[in-house]
Amino acid sequence: MKVRESTGGTRDRIKAVALELFTEQGYEKTSLREIAERLNVTKAALYYHFKSKDEIVSSFVEDRLQQIDAIVTWAETQPTNRETRRELIARYADAMFTGDHPSVMRFFEQNQTVLKSLVAGQQMRGRMMQLASALCHGDDSPAAQLRAALSLFAVHSSWFAVRTPHITDAERRKIALEVADELLDRIGQPDRADGEV
């Protein structure tokens, strides 16, 4: 007797195949028909789970939003100090470097206009600002706000800014956290006067 695949498993397969095709040939050049063909299912079966390519992309974002919400919720229960900031950025990096996230980040980098046009993309920007606020909690200076945002950018931009060939994900994560940590170390510290070394 053949065991039927769960709905969640089917959705995950669709997302994986769609991501593969979006990365291979671009979001605009990929049709739902091609996704269905690669999955060896009918277009109607695909429509049962996702009505459009935008819905598939939104599901990628939703997964990330849930991860970010969990990190923000955790941070709200922690003391405001350097250790909390370091743990928060490490948790964010863990979310960015596990599962399908590396492929999703590459897709987002290659298809920024798609993400910007979706409501989910706007929600993602809002959540990133919540994370940045959690990172600089207790220091509302403009410099702290910028350092917090840049520390997050160091983590997720490592997927496209670090162009060294054959670098492993672990090496990429380590570099991103080192740069983020340099920025976070200055949050909550008095800024040096101009000309002071």
- Chain segment 15-46, per-residue pLDDT in tens: 999 989 988 888 889 999 999 999 999 889 89
Amino acid type, 67: Q
What single letter denotes the amino acid at residue 4? R
Fold category of 53-184 in CATH: Tetracycline Repressor; domain 2 (1.10.357)
Q: How far apart are CA 93 and CA 152, in angstroms?
A: 9
User: Average pLDDT in the 120-149 region?
Assistant: 91
| Helix, coil or strand: residue 99 | coil
Fold for 7-49, please state it: Arc Repressor Mutant, subunit A (1.10.10)
Contact 135/152 with Cβ under 8 angstroms? Answer: yes
Q: Which segments of the chain belong to CATH 1.10.357?
A: 53-184
Kindly tell me the sign of the dihedral angle through the C-alpha atoms of 27, 156, 91, 173.
positive
Question: Among 24, 27, 26, 107, which Cα is nearest to 64's?
Answer: 107
Of residues 113 and 133, the one with the higher pLDDT is: 133
Looking at the chain, the domain(s) classified CATH 1.10.10.60 span: 7-49
Summarize pLDDT for 163-197 with one digit per residue, the tens: 888 998 889 999 999 999 999 999 988 765 444 54
User: How high is the mean pLDDT of the chain?
Assistant: 85
| Vertex 122: Cα angle to 121 and 124 (nearest 5) | 65
